[in-house]
Structure formats: C-alpha cells, structure tokens
Amino acid sequence: MQIATDKPVLVTGATGYVAGWLVKRLLEAGLTVHAAVRDPDRAGAVVALGEGTPGTVRLFKADLLDEGSYDAAMAGCGVVFHTASPFVTVIRDAQRDLVDPALKGTRNVLGSANRTASVERVVLTSSIAAVFGDQADLQDIPGGVLSEIYWNTTSNLTHQPYSYSKTLAEGAAWEMANAQDRWRLVVINPGLVVGPGVSGVGRSESFGMIRQLGNGKMKSGVPAYEIGMVDVRDVAEAHLRAGFLPDAEGRHMVFEAPYSFLDLAKVLKPAFPGYPIPERELPKALLWLVGPLLSRQITRKLVSRAFGYPWRGDNGKSRRELGLTYRPVGAATVEMFAQLVEAGLVGRRP
Ligand code: NAP
C-alpha cells in the first residue's frame, strides 16, 4: 500500500484507546499527524508516540461540541480520521452525554471537511453498534448473519443509547458525504475492541469491561453476552488501509470472530491464577430478575434482547477489500489484562 506523506493527516480524539495505535502506525509510516485533543496539557502520551519514528505530531485543541474548532487542525490535511466519540456505558443523560457529542460532533468535523479544500478522504470510526442493536435483531435477518448492508433500527435514547449515538452519527456522515463529491467517506465498524493500550490503561469502556472480569464483580458469573471482537491493533490497521487504499469504499465490519465474556474468562483463568475470574454464565432468568437491582444499565429489555443469543457476522469485506488478517482476540485480552494487573486495577483473591 502506497502511503502518501506529502500532506498531514488529522486524527480526532487522538488521546483515545483506538486512536493511539492509529497515531502510532501513521507516525511509523512517516506522516505528520495533526492530533486533535480536548486538552493539549493532558496529551503528553500522544506526543511521546512520535519518539523514534520518522513522523511528527502536532497537537490542536478541539471539542466535538465546539462548532468550527477542528478547522485549524484540519488545514492542509489530505485524510481525516474521525475517531472521537464517547464510548461510555454509565451515563446520566443519553442525549447530552452520548448523542450530542457523537452526532453534532460528526457534523462539526465533516463541516470542517466541507470547508477544507485539501481533504480527499474521511475515515469514520463507527461501530458494529450502527449495524445491529440487540443480539435478538439477528433473528430477523435472513440466515442470521450480519453484514454491512444492515443498520441498527432498534436502539433509542432509553435502550442501548450508545448504539443509538453511533447509528445517528454514521447516518449523518453518509448524508453529508453523499451531498458533495470532493471527499470520500470510508467507514470502519469495529466489533468490541480489546487488547493493550498503546500508552497503558485507557479510559475507554473496553478497559472497564475486561476489568470486570478480574475485579471480583463478576466472580459468581458473567452475563451470556456474545459479540464480534477485535484486537485494537487490527482496528488501527483497518483505519490506515481505509485512509490510503485507493479503492476503499463504504462500510467495513471489522472483527476477528464472535466471543462471549465467558470465552474471554476461560482464556484469562489459566494465564492469571488466583484472580477472581468468572467460571460460569449467569442464568438469563436470574439476570432478568435481579439485573435492574444491580445496575441501572441492566434493564429487563436489555437482558431479554441482548443476553443468551448467539452473534454471527461476516467480516469478508474487510478481509477482501482492506486485506486485513486478524490476530487472535484471546492473546490480545491476556495482554490487556496484564496492563490492568500492572496498574493495580484487578485484584488477587485476599
Ligand atoms: P476512548 O478511549 O474513550 O476514546 C474516545 C475519544 O473521544 C477520546 O479521545 C475522547 O477525548 C474523545 N472525546 C469524547 N468526547 C469528546 C468531545 N466532546 N470533544 C472532543 N473529543 C471527545 O474510547 P475508544 O474505545 O478508543 O473509542 C474511540 C472510537 O472507537 C469511538 O468512536 C467509539 O465509538 C469507537 N468504537 C470503539 C469500540 C470499542 O470497543 N472500544 C468499538 C467500536 C467502535 P478525551 O481523551 O479528552 O476524553
């Protein structure tokens, strides 16, 4: 793959977990990376990614909700990687905490692209959450296998609001892309991302989920939840290819294979003896009964529609058109858990 280094590239949300490995890959390829961050004073780790690489990092201050704040960062860039979007599950107000930054933020960044003549391509970090809402949705599609032709139609502000935010944001991106013909939109729809942070443990919900497998909270059992999962480094590679392969187009489901939380726990158990890693799945009926008492996030509708179903998807387009080969998610999870151990965020049994 030919990577043009004559123009800088922009990465929004450069402090993020997924963005970190992408920034590193871009710097290794010798690019000048315009790193848009909310707080440049907290972005030392992003600058450090440039050390020992042929690339250059330039920090820019920008916020998804601050109209026009990406203009300066985008000036002169050929490719824009828009990764910034909140990935949190504990929220107070779904509109304010998820939908506004995802949707208004995407319109804000793509509005800058419309005003920036040098931009030829925008790579958007969407999610498989924009392809389906609940595992139960798969029962309504022919063959029960998800692919890029599907859209999430079942999430809303009160049910799976993160998925809703990603669906609205990707939809708006396609609307804006189709209304002009200078820049091309290429979308990456990753599954649940796992693997080590490029600069240690990050704030992404990915760390929160793997942490729960080792902090004792799920010692008595995990929800029977299955979804496509992917190594964070493969997600970065997918973005790079989406940015520079001349023929890359459309959406791409990016995941290695379906895994359940119990599958991950079974890989972690022998690698981390003595840690309170779950050994079984909780019965769905029990979760339905007590889930809402344990957490505001575990609603009865969520238990009914997302837990206890198999998840199937087709990653063929990403392999054929982006040429991706996938690393095993199990090994990535072990590396990620080791970072959590190192940071003292998971505990041995007393
Ligand atoms: P993350 O580490 O929390 O990254 C989110 C990034 O968005 C951070 O850089 C954050 O900046 C930035 N951000 C949030 N609100 C912002 C705002 N108002 N203005 C400017 N920047 C803002 O999470 P991640 O897992 O890497 O997620 C990155 C992208 O991947 C998101 O689009 C997410 O939806 C997508 N994705 C993630 C997964 C996954 O499993 N992790 C799966 C599929 C898709 P701060 O550092 O300042 O907070």
CATH number at residue 158: 3.40.50.720
pLDDT, mean of each 10-residue run, the chain (350 residues): 92 98 98 98 97 98 98 98 93 96 98 98 98 97 97 97 98 98 98 98 96 92 96 98 98 98 98 96 92 86 96 98 98 98 83
Whole-angstrom distance, CA of residue 154 vs CA of residue 176: 23
- Centre of ligand 1 to C-alpha 219, Å, is 28
> What is the enclosing helix (H) or strand (E) of 263?
helix 261-271
Residue 348 lies in a domain: no
Q: Give yes or no for residue 53 CB within 6 A of ligand 1.
A: no
pLDDT value at position 297? 84
Residue nearest atom 4 in ligand 1 by C-alpha distance: 16
Q: Which residues of 244-274 are buried (b: 16+ CB within 10 A; e: fewer)?
A: bbeebeebbbbbbbbbbbbbbbebbeeebee
pLDDT value at position 350? 47
Helix (H, G, I), strand (E, B) or coil at 147: coil
Q: Could you tell me the pTM of the whole model?
A: 0.97
Residue nearest atom 7 in ligand 1 by C-alpha distance: 84
- Centre of ligand 1 to C-alpha 125, Å, is 9
Question: What is the length of the chain?
Answer: 350
pLDDT (tens digit, 9 = 90+) per residue, 243-297?
999 999 999 999 999 999 999 999 999 999 999 999 999 999 998 998 888 888 8
Residue 42 lies in a domain: yes
Residue 327: which of 254, 268, 253 has the closest Cα?
254
Q: Give yes or no for residue 100 CB within 6 A of ligand 1.
A: no
Q: Give yes or no for residue 88 CB within 6 A of ligand 1.
A: no
Contacts of residue 305, defined as CB under 8 A and 6 or more positions apart, other chains included, come to 133, 134, 135, 136, 137, 154
Count the domains in the chain: 1
Instruction: Determine whether 38 is exposed, middle or buried from the number of CB atoms within 10 Å of its CB (0-12, 13-18, 19+).
Output: middle
- Asked if residues 9 and 32 have their Cβ atoms less than 8 Å apart, the reply is yes
Helix (H, G, I), strand (E, B) or coil at 333: helix
Annotated catalytic, 266? no
> Which atom of ligand 1 approaches the CA of 62 most closely?
20
pLDDT value at position 336? 98
Q: Give yes or no for residue 198 CB within 6 A of ligand 1.
A: no
- Asked if residues 29 and 5 have their Cβ atoms less than 8 Å apart, the reply is yes
pLDDT value at position 134? 98
Whole-angstrom distance, CA of residue 281 vs CA of residue 121: 44
Residue 121: which of 253, 248, 254, 252 has the closest Cα?
248
- Centre of ligand 1 to C-alpha 83, Å, is 6
Residue 307 lies in a domain: yes
- Centre of ligand 1 to C-alpha 12, Å, is 9
Domain limits for position 174: 9-342
Residue 349 lies in a domain: no
Residue nearest atom 22 in ligand 1 by C-alpha distance: 84
Q: Give yes or no for residue 172 CB within 6 A of ligand 1.
A: no
Q: Which of 104, 166, 266, 269 does the annotation list as catalytic? A: 166
pLDDT value at position 228? 98
